Structure formats: C-alpha cells, structure tokens
Amino acid sequence: MMLCQECRTNEANIHIIKSVDGKQTEEFLCEQCARQKEELDFSFEPQFSLHKLFTSMLDQGVLGSRETMLSAKTQCPACGLSFAQFSQIGRLGCGECFTAFEKSLKPILRRIHASSLHTGKMPVRARHRVKYLRELDQLKEQLRIKVQNEEFEEAARLRDRIQAMKSDLQNDEMHENKMQLGEPKELTEEDDPEKGDQD
Amino acid sequence: MEGGGPEAEIVISSRVRAARNIKDYPFSCLASAQETVAVLEKVRDITAGKDKFTDFIYLPMQDISALEKQALVEKHLISPFLANDSSNGALLMRADEAVGIMINEEDHLRIQSILPGLRLEEAWRDIGYYDDLIESKLDYVFDEHYGYLTACPTNVGTGLRASVMLHLPALIMTGQINRFLGALSRVGLTVRGLYGEGTEIIGNLAQVSNQVTLGHTEEEIIGNLGSVMCQVIEQEQNARQVLLDKKRAELADKAWRALGVLKYAQLLGSQEAIQLISDLRLGYDLGLVREVNHRLLNELLVLIRPGCLQLLAGRELEHDERKLERPFQIKQALERFQEQNN
C-alpha cells in the first residue's frame, strides 16, 4: 500500500500528474487530502453518476437479455447512433433516436420517471396536434375493446371516425407545411394519407 | 447573487432549468463543429440585439479565460460541462445574473434561473417567459408522448430540474440528517453537495432537486419540491430551537469565533472557510451575532472559491497563494460591509 504524501496515514488512491510550462510534477494523495488541496475541486467531479445508474440498469437486464442483444444492433436512421453506443455513453444522438429505440427506451423511461407520458408544458405549435393525437389514441383503444366484445356495428362507427380524424390531421399538416414554404396549393383527393390503412 | 429572499435563514437559493433542443440538428454529443456553430447562430439570430434580450451579455466559452469559466461554474451560472467539454458552447446571461441560457451544453439550450431564497415558482416563471420567446421563433424537438426530447433520458419530458440550496446545520449536528436524506429519495428527490453530482455535503450545505422529469407537470414538480422543502425547513427550525435551548452559549461562542477567524486569520483553506461561514450564518440566523447579513454571507460563500478568488486577485494563484489571498479578500468584504452599514 502506498501512503498519501500529504497525511502519510491514508492509502494514496489518487495520482495527480501536473504539467505546467512543460515541467511535470506528480503527487500521490488520498481522496481527503486531494479534496483539501482543491485538486478535486473543479475538474475531478464525477459527472456521470446518473448515467452510470441507468447504464447499470441496462446491464441488470431491465430489458430481457435477448432483447438487449437484438436492440444493441438497432441504429438510428437519422444520426447513425446504435443502441449499443447509446448504452455506453448514456446519451441519445437526436430526436429521432426516441423512435428508433422506442421499444428498448420505453422501459428505461418508465423506470426512471413517474410514467412514460408527458403531461407538462407543450410548445404552442404542438398543442393542437398533441390533443388530436391523444384523442385518436383513446378512440383506437375503444375500437380495440369493441372488436374484442364483437360489437361490430359500434366498431365500424369508431373506425370511420378514426379514419376521418387521421386524414384531417394529415391535411392540416400538409397545409401547415405549405404555409411555411409559402406555396399555397390545392389539396387533392390523392393526398389522402390513409390509403391502404386498414385498421 | 443577492442575499435574502423568502426563508433565507435556511434556503440559500432556488434554481430551475429547462433543457431544450432545436429541431433538425443532432444533439450536442454527436454534432459536428459546423452543426454546433449553426445552433449558436440560430440562437444568436433570434436574440442578438432583440428587444427582450437587450440586457443580456453574450459569453462564448472560447473567448473567456479558464479562470472566468471557473468563477461562472462556482456561481452556478454555467455547468462544468459547458466550461470544459462543450464545442462552441456559450452563455447568454441577463445582466443581473438571475437568468442564463447555456448554448451547446449537453442539450442545445439550457435555460436557467437562479434566485436567492425559496422562489421556485418565480424562477419557473422567468424561464417560461424566455422559453416562450425562443419557441415563438424556432422549433424545439418535441414528441407528443415523451415531451421535450433531451440527450439524456433522465431529462426527457419537461426537461425541468428544480433545485434548492439548503443550509441545514441543526439537522446535521443533531444527527437527524440521514433520516431526512432517506425520506427525500422516497418522494422522488435527490440530495447532493454544494457542487452537484457526486460532491459531498460540506459547510452544512445540501442541494435538493427533483429526479423525475416525465409524467408530472412543471407545476407539480415545483410544487412537490416546494412543499417537501417547507417540511424540511420546519424540521430544521425545530432542531435549531432545541439546540438554542440547550446549547445557546456554545452556539454563540462558535459563531463569534468563526467571525474572529474570518476577520483575523492569515491563512485559510476553502473547506475551513465554508465551515466558518456556516457557523457564522447559524449564529446570525439564531440572533446571536448581528455583525453580518445574508447578502454578505452569500457573497463570502462565493468569493472564497478558487476561481472567484483568483479572479478577484487578478491573477492565477497556486494553492498556497490562495490560502493567503482568501483571508485578505474576506477581510475586504467584511470591511466594505461595515462601511456600508455605519
């Protein structure tokens, strides 16, 4: 065991090499003395304890190990980050990563947070869309239950409403995009986004 | 930061920050230098010379000295990450230092408000104001399920971290602190030392902040922290009363000795100084010493830190030189205070 050069009682578990104007000095200190000398004050704070916590959660198999293996290879199409890289650095690469890794991320988010649904502030521009999408989710859930209970008449009514809402939303978005591009164009029947969507 | 504010005898400061990212750009950890420059320019475009931002100072990290950065970290105005590891990082700071917008931190934007005393709602209102202004000019990365998307999953949702810096000498002296720490983690709060993650509690100062950012509204997060803080304040006050009843003379002695050492010491380390300031603060809060006030005590707490100290001295100082400079600067601050109050 090497003793701390400062107090000469504790074990020296910190090795500090300083290079000032090309002149190198080294010191072997215990954590306490290093802190007292302010060597640990600024640059040595462990910055990633939250991230460590959460990468260890990954290792502990919050996700099934087979699933982790498979998802490790998943890559975000927008920024190229792989899930394996994400679990190493603990940081996502872009907004699209949330969609690309959703399956594996969701249990992690649930574990860290109160739930996996945001209920707080929204950007003004997103508010309308979010309200619409959440209503849509509720209708879809109702539809699932109706189908399960074999109440087909009611289910058909819900399906039509969902279809109508979806195309409304798509039209709204296209309209908005065109407004942003400054090229107002007539919407046509061919723009119906829900073609082929059978649910 | 000025002193005072509500509950100033226990709460030193309240800090709230919101993490935001700009649409169509990779997060900072994957961004190229060109992309970080583009983010910087986008934010500059909507803020530089604009009405609501005329009282803001723009500080690019590459243009300021290591000492200035260290002092900003010590004042909690920027993160160590922004100071040391960011690419094209910058701080847009309101002249009163109460509001700051970090650019190219781990997230593109970290909008922060820091106020003396227990003023979480006010800090959140400040942030909301600038958040709305920025959002009216550019699109944030926002998801209908996960809210504001952030580089670290621990910030997703509201992107909100609210924290309170507490001075808890009585809970620590009476050994009740551990029970209190355990209880906090059960209500979704974390406790850290004076300088963030992984730092220990020194000078009886603890930072308490919310852990959860997704699934609660901003008002719920702030309300939860605020109401738990009210209970902690009550407990600390009870513990102080018990101490005062039983150990009045000892506490007065400790506070006056602290003032004496701060006034007359020739060499002072930063940890010792923080402890002395804590002893003096408790004495002042209990009415045993009247020679100081919260504003001065807060000023001392900042100026004894290595970066601020060297900045005040106007040059870089080795560890031993800082021990000599520290009591000199403390003495000057005490004298200025006396002059102002006579």
Instruction: Report ipTM (2 d.p.).
Output: 0.85
As a whole number, the mean pLDDT across chain A is 73
Please give the Cα distance from B149 to A94 (Å, whole number): 8
| CA-wise closest residue to B297 among B310, B280, B275 | B280
| CA-wise closest residue to B162 among B8, B11, B15, B6 | B15
Q: Which residues of A touch B147 (CB under 8 A)?
A: 118, 120, 122
Q: What is the pLDDT along chain B (342 residues), one digit of tens a residue?
A: 666 778 899 999 999 999 999 999 999 999 999 999 999 999 999 999 888 999 999 999 999 999 999 999 999 999 999 999 999 999 999 999 999 999 999 999 999 999 999 999 999 999 999 999 999 999 999 998 999 999 999 999 999 999 999 999 999 999 888 888 778 888 889 888 765 555 567 899 999 999 999 999 999 999 999 999 999 999 999 999 999 999 999 999 999 999 999 999 999 999 999 999 999 999 999 999 999 999 999 999 999 999 999 999 999 999 999 999 999 999 999 999 999 987
What pTM was estimated for this model as a whole? 0.78
Q: Which residues of B touch A169 (CB under 8 A)?
A: none
> Between chains, do B197 and A38 touch, taking CB under 8 Å as contact?
no
Interface test mutation site (partner B, options A94, A132, A179, max chain B beta carbons within 10 A)? A94
More confident residue, A40 or A148: A148
What 3-state DSSP class applies to A188?
coil
DSSP-assigned letter for residue B95: T
> Between chains, do A91 and B27 touch, taking CB under 8 Å as contact?
yes
- Residue B175 tokens read as 């050994």
Please give the torsion angle defined by the CA atoms of residues B112, B118, B120 and B122, in that order, rounded to the nearest 10 degrees.
-90
Put simply, whether A51 touches B (Cβ < 8 Å) is yes
pLDDT for residue A185 is more than 60: no
Please give the Cα distance from B236 to B230 (Å, whole number): 10
pLDDT attached to residue A174: 67
pLDDT attached to residue A29: 81
> Between chains, do B322 and A38 touch, taking CB under 8 Å as contact?
yes
As a whole number, the mean pLDDT across chain B is 93
Interface test mutation site (partner A, options B111, B149, B195, B224, max chain A beta carbons within 10 A)? B149
Degrees to nearest 5, angle at CA B31 with B29 and B32? 130
Interface test mutation site (partner B, options A5, A40, A42, max chain B beta carbons within 10 A)? A42
Tens-place pLDDT, residues A19-42: 655 667 778 888 777 766 654 443
pLDDT attached to residue A184: 39
Put simply, whether A152 touches B (Cβ < 8 Å) is no
Please give the Cα distance from B85 to B69 (Å, whole number): 12
> Between chains, do A94 and B215 touch, taking CB under 8 Å as contact?
no
Q: How many CB pairs under 8 A join A and B?
A: 154
Put simply, whether A91 touches B (Cβ < 8 Å) is yes
- Residue B48 tokens read as 């530089």
What 3-state DSSP class applies to A43?
coil
